[in-house]
Amino acid sequence: MLDLRHEFDLASRAYLDGAAHGPMPRRSLEAARDALDWKRDPSTLEDAEYFRLPDRIRAASAMLLNCDPESVAVATGASHGISLVACGLDWSPGDHVVVPTGEFPSVTLPWRDLAQRGVDVEWADPTAVVDAIRADTRVVAVGHVNFATGRRLDLDAIGDRCRAVGALLLVDASQSLGVVPVDARSCGAAVVAVAGYKWLLSPYGTGVTYVHPDWVDRFRLPTFNWATIVGADDFNKLVDLEPQQRPGAIRFDAPETAAFIQGRALAESLEFLNEVGVERIKTHVTALLDRLLGALPETVAVESSLIPAHRSSIVRLVPVGDVRALYGRLYAAGIKVSLREGGLRVAPGVWNTAEDIDRLLAVLSENAN
């Protein structure tokens, strides 16, 4: 089991809430402070950093997603990639879209809006997404890992069915990338949208969007970003730039792409995750959850799938009695989890140890007596 407590600054708390916010490693905090120095004294900021930093983010993200760096756009959150599909295509009444029930609002709300304009949105049970995909399905939009229950979908099976009918697969990987392996290339996704502030251990307002090369030219540009134009890196020849986009998904970069304070921290966190290795992180988190699930008092029910193919870094626990009161007792004891959809969402990460799990179990056991 990993012990990386020295990489984080969490005082004496047992922080088991990575599905809400992932703590930033010390090195990422230091990188953000270094970027603040660029604003304290801008004479130390090189022009090349406007392009060097986003490309560094692309390279590190591509290692996590198993794709080429050119297929990664630097984003501000998951809504960036989801909106690229929902707002970047022309829609007609009757177009068929499949979305699992119980998804996070960033996944569901764009389709609820399109449904009001005649798009045929089918809300499928998470266990039956593949069966809901028809020969005329245009888009399938899913969260890889459900934010409340932690159920992990089989992206390969969904992707195979999407390829068979020519449907676009849109994946929100905010609750998986960085803690559960995600292979954008093999699952056949057209777009993978990721928020950076959860398992990517980065600031709020960061993220990345993968766009498959076959889809790059099919989406409308949500905004025109001068920094994505060929030749924009030559600050001595900006007046005569032509609107020729750099190859790949780079054209979808959020404006002010370098966003130095956010971007430096994001790059450091991505590189940290690659250094540790997502497979090792998954193994570590699974061991922590096994320790928890193996010692739960009988008064606590588990409302998450425990089938290995569907497990993730999240479990939802539903105790007998007042769940809000128990949440308060946990918080008072220095243990942070989330209240989500009527239960306690427990989401340990690479920063946690067995001691954190034992502290949680102690309070749950006291509550059962």
CATH fold label, 28-275 = Aspartate Aminotransferase; domain 2 (3.40.640)
**Between 3.30.70.890, 3.40.190.10, 3.40.50.2000, 3.90.1150.10, what CATH number should domain 5-25+277-368 receive?**
3.90.1150.10
- CATH 3.40.640.10 boundaries in the chain: 28-275
pLDDT digits (tens, 9 = 90+) for 191-226: 999 999 999 999 999 999 999 999 999 999 989 999
Entry pTM: 0.96
What is the rounded average pLDDT of the residues 300-319?
95
d(CA 186, CA 67): 10
pLDDT of res. 235: 87
CB contact at 8 A, 230 and 246: yes
CB contact at 8 A, 227 and 49: no
Reported residue count of the chain is: 369
pLDDT of res. 230: 92
d(CA 29, CA 9): 10
Place of tokens 């099976």: 157
Q: Counting Cβ atoms within 10 Å, is residue 162 exposed (0-12), middle (13-18) or buried (19+)?
A: buried
pLDDT of res. 1: 82
What is the rounded average pLDDT of the residues 178-193?
97
d(CA 38, CA 19): 32
- CATH 3.90.1150.10 boundaries in the chain: 5-25+277-368
For residue 342, give both structure tokens.
């009527």
Confidence of residue 190 (pLDDT cuts 50, 70, 90): very high
